[in-house]
A and B are shown apart, each in its own frame.
Chain A
């Protein structure tokens, strides 16, 4: 292992922060990946409680059913890496105020479920926090077709994208593909924070 590279990365990550909007399949898995690599601060936003049906793909355990997602994920991350500072917002993001919890993070990850909210969120963050890079995902549903997923860099917007995927209203959400895209988002956030790996 390259010790100098590893130390440089650790230091940079320790001083960095990522905000995550939505703690479902995308958000919970992305948060855990970022906690494992040693991100300094995570801002976690969700209004929901953990339900049994979430366990097919979201990073929660049976014991979390009925508890808030923000508090459950905070407890999980503290068991993995207690060095991460975790800020939680148990709120529903409201149109017109969506950027509020994310004003002082280095990267924002969009991990919402519904296409309407995703679109609104991206529009609001890009226009209200024009200097903050946004990582978003579209086309999570289904299984297989891993190699249809691509990265699209559009200025400050970085998309993890499968434009041929169906909406989750008409398709299934399954752990492998959801976790793939969640980790794709976390990986993009790392690339933004650390610069391209070379």
Chain B
């Protein structure tokens, strides 16, 4: 029962939302792009979308500048 977050293996928690996972991982960046199994999760859905077991999660931190 585990998931992969940015290449790191962590425990899978039942009913954990994207928002809760970010909190658990201590990702405090205000602006992130999140992909679960290569599908992008819109930020407005972070509080609802649940992380499935065995999924691969990518969290990309967006920093200003361009």
Residues in A lying within 8 Å of B, measured CB to CB:
22, 24-27, 111-116, 118-119, 122-123, 126-127, 137-141, 152, 154-155, 157, 159, 161-163, 165-169, 171, 173, 178
Asked if B14 is at the interface of the complex by the 8 Å CB criterion, the answer is: no
Total interface residues in chain B, CB < 8 Å: 17
Which residues does chain A contribute within 8 Å of B43, judged by CB atoms? 119, 123
- Over the window 17-58 of chain B, the binary record of Cβ atoms lying under 8 Å from chain A Cβ atoms (1 yes, 0 no) is 000000000000011110100101011000000000000001
Asked if B63 is at the interface of the complex by the 8 Å CB criterion, the answer is: yes
Closest 7 CB pairs of A and B: A168-B65, A140-B65, A113-B66, A155-B38, A141-B65, A115-B64, A167-B64
Asked if B61 is at the interface of the complex by the 8 Å CB criterion, the answer is: yes
Residues in B lying within 8 Å of A, measured CB to CB:
30-33, 35, 38, 40, 42-43, 58, 60-66
Which residues does chain B contribute within 8 Å of A162, judged by CB atoms? 63
Q: Is the CB of B33 within 8 A of A165?
A: no
Which residues does chain B contribute within 8 Å of A159, judged by CB atoms? 60
Q: Is the CB of A116 within 8 A of B31?
A: yes
In the bound complex, what is the Cα–Cα distance between A167 and B43 (angstroms)? 20
Q: Is the CB of B65 within 8 A of A113?
A: yes
Q: Interface centre among B31, B38, B61, B65, by most A CB within 10 Å? A: B65
